[in-house]
Chains A and B, each alone.
Chain A
Amino acid sequence: MNLTPRVLNRSLSTFFGAILLAVGIHLLLVAGVPDYATWWRGAASALGEIAHGVLLATTLPGQQESWLWIVLALLLIVAILLMVWWISVQGRGRASAYVSAYFDDDPMPGRVEISDEAVEQALRAMLGRRADVVSLNVTLWENSPVPGLRIKVQPRTGVAPGELGAEIADAARAAQELMGSGGPVVIHLAGGARSRFARSERVQ
């Protein structure tokens, strides 16, 4: 669970996918259909004439090249920066502190922070030693007003997931009460490493 911009990812994927598809179809048509190739040459040369005219009109006196090239370079820089930003927002949205509150108490005011580790330890203590859980790990995601808890549990093979999930949910509620905080809870009962890549699961 994170705050990856899914709508943006999907719309940009669709947009660039459509452009690539159009380019591919164009190349196929140019190579395979002579009439289309003739039309394309005509259209392209007309377009080239217009562009040439614009470039000539925007060349300042005493200069060799049009200033449009500088504008184009700036636009390309903006496009590159936007793409870098797009990559950087993938998988963002992890919170580091579950509780971060300032208390203005009289003798010693200060800030109290509770990290995800503390929540994990509290959960472990509440669940106790269990034979049906291989590993447990807590991460937080940014959510207002309180960060969300994501509890990833790897159960042993064959454990009834509903029962285990309900017990972990109870423990999570108790842990939240202990921390004096709330927020949404996600419990993810995960299989081994291969479940990340497999589309369907086969178990004997």
Chain B
Amino acid sequence: MRTGQNEAIRERELTSGRSPAAIVIATLVILLCGYALFEAALKALGQDPLIATPETWWTWISLLPGDLNPLGLVATGLAAMLLGLVFLTHGTRRGRLARHSMGCDGAVLIVDDQVLAAALARRARIEASVGPGQVLVVISHERIDVQIRPTSGTPIVPAVVLSGLEEELRINAVEPMPVINVRVSESGVIGQ
């Protein structure tokens, strides 16, 4: 049971909870419902409408496109479609955050990609024996790109750096293991 709970916690820590989308949608619905409520209440009390009566709104909607500017209608439609698509993808996609999980006894260990990248950059610097500023590490979900600018006259073997970085990932028990790409650039920098 404990491992199942830890699995659930890990998933919660690695993915987004979609709170901002929820708050935006709820606010939009509240505004729309608030206006509709106002008009319905005025109608029920037999008072004059604020902007238009529900009947006027319905006539306007049922006679679309009416005498509206077609370009404006297309623009509104596109905007609604885009917003709908954004909400739809928020609802259906996993929403992976820029974090990785590591194996750890008795705890869930979550590491921001920034921290992991810094550790990998340090290791790559040691393996390639280059100075700071010559290694660039970019981490995106399941992929790690390492770019090294060698010191002029000192060749770098990418395989050595790669095996060093893989060992570093193994020591830190990153799960699942990302794919590493090492690139040594053509031009070097003046030695330090």
Size class of the A contact interface (CB-based, 8 Å): 35 or more
Beyond A18-B84, A190-B115, whether A69 also contacts B43 by CB under 8 A is yes
User: Could you tell me the distance between the alpha carbons of A86 and B23 in the complex, rounded to whole angstroms?
Assistant: 8
Chain A contacts for B118, CB-based, 8 A: 157-159, 191, 203
Q: A184, B5: Cβ atoms under 8 Å?
A: yes
Say yes or no: is B135 at the interface (Cβ < 8 Å to chain A).
yes
Beyond A201-B138, A204-B136, whether A4 also contacts B85 by CB under 8 A is no
Contact with A along B1-26 (1 / 0, CB 8 A): 00001100100110001110111011
Q: B22, A80: Cβ atoms under 8 Å?
A: no
Say yes or no: is A118 at the interface (Cβ < 8 Å to chain B).
no
Shortest Cβ distance from A25 into B: residue: B81
Q: Which of A71-79, A95-103, A104-112, A121-129 contacts B (4 or more CB under 8 A)?
A: A71-79
Contact of B119 among A20, A70, A159 (CB under 8 A): A159
Size class of the B contact interface (CB-based, 8 Å): 35 or more
Say yes or no: is B163 at the interface (Cβ < 8 Å to chain A).
no
Chain B contacts for A57, CB-based, 8 A: none
Q: B133, A20: Cβ atoms under 8 Å?
A: no
Q: B98, A198: Cβ atoms under 8 Å?
A: yes
Q: B65, A30: Cβ atoms under 8 Å?
A: yes
Contact of A21 among B58, B84, B136 (CB under 8 A): B84
From residue B14, how far is it (CB to closest CB) to chain A in Å? 11
Within 8 A of B (CB), among A175-204: 184-192, 194-195, 198-204
User: Could you tell me the distance between the alpha carbons of A80 and B35 in the complex, rounded to whole angstroms?
Assistant: 11
